Amino acid sequence: MPFFLQTKFYQLQKLSFMACIILLASCNSTRFVPEGKYLLNRISVRSDNKNLKLEELKIHVRQKENLRILGVLKFHLAVYNLSSGTKENDWLKSVGEAPVLYDEFQTQKSKDQLQIFLKNKGYYNAVVKDSLVINQAKKKLNLIFDIKSGKPYRIRNYTYFIKDKSLQGVLLKDSVSQLLKPNDVFDLDVLNAERQRIATYLKNRGYYKFSEEFVSFQADTNFYSHQVDLTVNVDDALLYNDEAEVVAHQKYKIRNYLIYPGFKTADLNGEQQEQKLDTLTERDYRFVYSGKLKYRPILFYNVNRMKDSAWYCLQNAEKTYRALNRLKQFKLINISFNETDPLPGDSIPLLDCKMQLSPLPSQNFSVDVEGTNSSGNLGVAGNLNYQQRNVFGGAEVLDIQLRGARERQQALKDNNRFNFNTQELGFETSLTIPKFISFINGNRRFSFQIPETRFSAGYNYQKRPDYTRTITNLKFGYIWKTSEFVFHTLNVLDLNYVNLSKFNEAFINSIRDLYIKSSFTDHLISASNYSWMYNTQNVNKREDYKYFKINIESAGSILSLYSRLVNKTKIVETDSITGIRSSYYEVLNTRFAQYLKGDFEYRYGHMINKLSSVVGRAFFGIGVPFGNFNVLPFEKKYFTGGANGIRAWQVRSLGPGSYKAPTDIYPNQSSDVKLEANLEYRFKMFWRMEGAFFMDAGNIWAINYKDNREGSVFKVDTFYKQIAVGSGFGVRFDFTYFLFRLDLGVKMRDPSLAEGKRFIPGNYQLSSDQFNLSFAIGYPF
């Protein structure tokens, strides 16, 4: 048996053995439960009101039962129960979870907390009862909280009492945005959110000193059954003013901007060093610096969004902070405001804005050694990085990277998967400019964030088992955000010249009779592409998140139009094997690709508790070649399988459709359409180990009917019969800076098998061909 198959079964045996031990230990889950005590087996919260979310109610239960995997197995308790009964410092005790014992005092505290929560939500007559279901023989009990919410209090009338009449028109103008309306449930959390909204709304309209303290609510529930007359009180500028005279809130304007781009953090600690400072004044900007002003003033004119409004605006101050932070020039950014005397004859109060900016070092060198993961093929890479900040005085960032790597790929003739037979050498340089460079002056069109303009160039040499290729790349585009979670990338020009040489003869013979052979030729790609991404994931917080990404790319149309305008002569050729006749243009003596391509990806992560989560992913992509190149370039094609695809198959060994590649060649399957879905249940095990159960489904297909691989073409009425399904178990080792992953996948449904017998369970005996062990770095999605 080949070594890698032995490894698969060895890993499977270890996982099975470990699972058996845990299951045996879980059978004695009350081993460490003292006499007279009960294991808190399960906590249930039941409510007669569907408007109350059970997840929110459970948060207020003080005791939590032992953690479960898949809602059934108390894995961490089982690990604890495997520990010694005499050693308190047993390692298994530290990595496991001690049994949670029922505590009557905590139950009463939970009832109190639930009662408070329900009152805050407007259910003042709610009743919370607890009950126990005890199994004395097994020393376990279930705790149940039953909630009768009763009728909620609702808002009957919603009125304002604004002491400062100058605010009345401002606030009532935005009443459509108020969070509370008549007939809404009287919810204290929503009231607090409304206070914040009013304060923020006024701060964005010049009222610099306004805060939430000026907003209060008065609720009258004396005469109306389950109804509340709610009054929003907005105090005048002198808080808690009992005098008859009203002190009006004032709107502020910003007079001057004091910018200190060489600020030292030691100055904040009272350790300010004596140094000679120079001052440059231009318009209402004053720059304070020592020696030479390293940044051109126009940089700060462009990033200062406080000029977008005539009055002080909190929102614009936040935009300015984000713009300064995005420059990647300063390790500390401090924006503050000082009230100053109004101008002579002007009653409008004024503010001076001060920006203290502590710069990062202008140059940075680094050397990285990293593990790589290209479609599940592991390797090692080294990078020499150089970064120059503020190249031309406008916060431009120059990055230069030299890269070398070795990676293992299964070769056509050499089936040793652990042979590091792929080499890569290359360099990449990029220049990022913090403004919109275009014949259109569009900086002010981007309200949330000014985009970055990026130029990049690179050269990459790759020696692979089956061929050698070089890729020369030039790129020009923009990157920007339109909200906290929405990202945009637009590459106006994405130029790639791909040269292939030194083909493995066996590899060429394996594709000689196939339509896709044309993909493995020298070609030029002149593309424009756009990506839109919505991502709420915060790596520093454990919370639910959503992720959407849409990519659109068009290539070759401009070169095709140019070739026609200058009356270029088409080259005509006939494939000697397939007999397919084609004609095409060349630019720089190279055939250029022409295609449209688009794909969509969606991910959703749900945090079940502090140690387990469920993450799902869906992907659909399609590429349509036309015109000058009747196939997609191979690096633009889709593939699946491997550590980041359908993990029960090796990378590039699945599809397209029901096509089955010869068993004696290295898998290199790719095509034009991809449909894939993944579901993964992740849970913390112990130490740095995490576990995961997963299920993957999908396939790739050809879109061109000239593709002569049997069963490869996408057809609306049959594609669903060609869906591959795999499942399995994975172990991950989280080393903080990187995550090492092993996933053992097993085929459940193989579309390359005879129709009607594509499900493995029930039709075939389990064999090594149905398992695949993937090594990878990082999560699959």
Per-position b or e across 617-648, b if 16+ CB within 10 A of its CB: bbbebbbebebbbbbbbbebbbbbbbbbbbbb
105, 113 contact by CB (below 8 A): no
pLDDT score at 778? 85
Residue 536, C-beta contacts closer than 8 angstroms, at least 6 positions apart: 485, 545, 546, 547
Top pLDDT among 319 and 276 is at 319
Same structural domain, 105 and 160: no
Instruction: Answer whether residue 268 is part of any domain.
Output: yes
Same structural domain, 291 and 323: yes
pLDDT score at 449? 77
77, 93 contact by CB (below 8 A): no
Which H or E run contains 107? helix 104-120
Segment 357-365 shows an average pLDDT of: 91
CA distances (Å), origin 704, targets 29, 632, 721, 725? 59, 10, 19, 25
Write the pLDDT tens digit of every residue in 11-59: 444 444 445 444 544 457 788 889 889 999 999 999 999 989 988 899 9
Alpha-carbon distance of 81 to 728, in angstroms, equals 27
Residue 374: pLDDT over 70: no
Same structural domain, 159 and 136: no
pLDDT score at 385? 92
Which of these three, 201, 234, 267, is where a domain ends? 234
The amino acid at residue 377 is N
Write the pLDDT tens digit of every residue in 433-471: 998 887 766 655 667 777 899 999 999 998 877 778 889
Instruction: Answer whether residue 497 is part of any domain.
Output: no
Same structural domain, 139 and 182: no
pLDDT score at 508? 67
Using pLDDT thresholds of 50, 70 and 90, give the confidence band for residue 579.
Answer: low
The residue with tokens 């090796």 is 650
Alpha-carbon distance of 183 to 191, in angstroms, equals 14
pLDDT score at 497? 92
CB atoms under 10 Å from CB of 341, counted, come to: 9
Alpha-carbon distance of 575 to 361, in angstroms, equals 58
Instruction: Answer whether residue 474 is part of any domain.
Output: no
Instruction: Answer whether residue 591 is part of any domain.
Output: yes
CB atoms under 10 Å from CB of 373, counted, come to: 22
Residue 8: pLDDT over 60: no
Short-list 436, 555, 582, CA closest to 494: 555
Same structural domain, 263 and 207: no
Segment 199-214 shows an average pLDDT of: 94
Alpha-carbon distance of 412 to 661, in angstroms, equals 13
pLDDT score at 7? 44
Short-list 235, 236, 207, CA closest to 349: 207
Which of these three, 234, 268, 302, is where a domain ends? 234
Alpha-carbon distance of 484 to 535, in angstroms, equals 9
The residue with tokens 């790597």 is 405
Which of these three, 359, 375, 399, is where a domain ends? 359
Alpha-carbon distance of 73 to 81, in angstroms, equals 13
Segment 630-657 shows an average pLDDT of: 89
Instruction: Answer whether residue 383 is part of any domain.
Output: no
Using pLDDT thresholds of 50, 70 and 90, give the confidence band for residue 4.
Answer: very low
- Percent of the chain at pLDDT exceeding 90: 46
Assign residue 595 the CATH number of its domain.
2.40.160
Same structural domain, 78 and 162: no
Beta-strand ranges (E) seen in 632-780 are 673-684, 689-701, 724-734, 739-749, 771-777
Short-list 152, 165, 150, 322, CA closest to 234: 165
Total structural domains within the chain: 4
Same structural domain, 320 and 279: yes
Task: Say whether 717 sits in a helix, a strand or coil.
Answer: coil
Same structural domain, 185 and 92: no
Among 37-51, 99-113, 379-393, 618-632, where is mean pLDDT lowest?
A: 379-393
pLDDT score at 510? 66
Residue 10: pLDDT over 90: no
Instruction: Answer whether residue 188 is part of any domain.
Output: yes
Write the pLDDT tens digit of every residue in 582-641: 788 888 888 999 999 999 999 999 998 888 899 999 999 999 999 888 888 888 999 999
Same structural domain, 200 and 272: no
How large is the C-alpha radius of gyration of the chain?
33
Instruction: Answer whether residue 718 is part of any domain.
Output: yes
Regarding pTM above 0.75, the answer is yes
Short-list 684, 763, 695, 753, CA closest to 721: 753
Same structural domain, 682 and 612: yes
Same structural domain, 165 and 106: no
- Report DSSP letters for 349-418, one per residue: -EEEEEEEEEEPPSEEEEEEEEEEEETTEEEEEEEEEEEEESSSSS--EEEEEEEEEEE----SS---TT
Using pLDDT thresholds of 50, 70 and 90, give the confidence band for residue 9.
Answer: very low
Domain span at 612: 513-777
Structure token pair of residue 289: 């610096």
Assign residue 215 the CATH number of its domain.
3.10.20.310
Alpha-carbon distance of 316 to 298, in angstroms, equals 18
Segment 210-224 shows an average pLDDT of: 85
Task: Say whether 647 sits in a helix, a strand or coil.
Answer: coil
Instruction: Answer whether residue 282 is part of any domain.
Output: yes
Same structural domain, 261 and 194: no
79, 96 contact by CB (below 8 A): yes
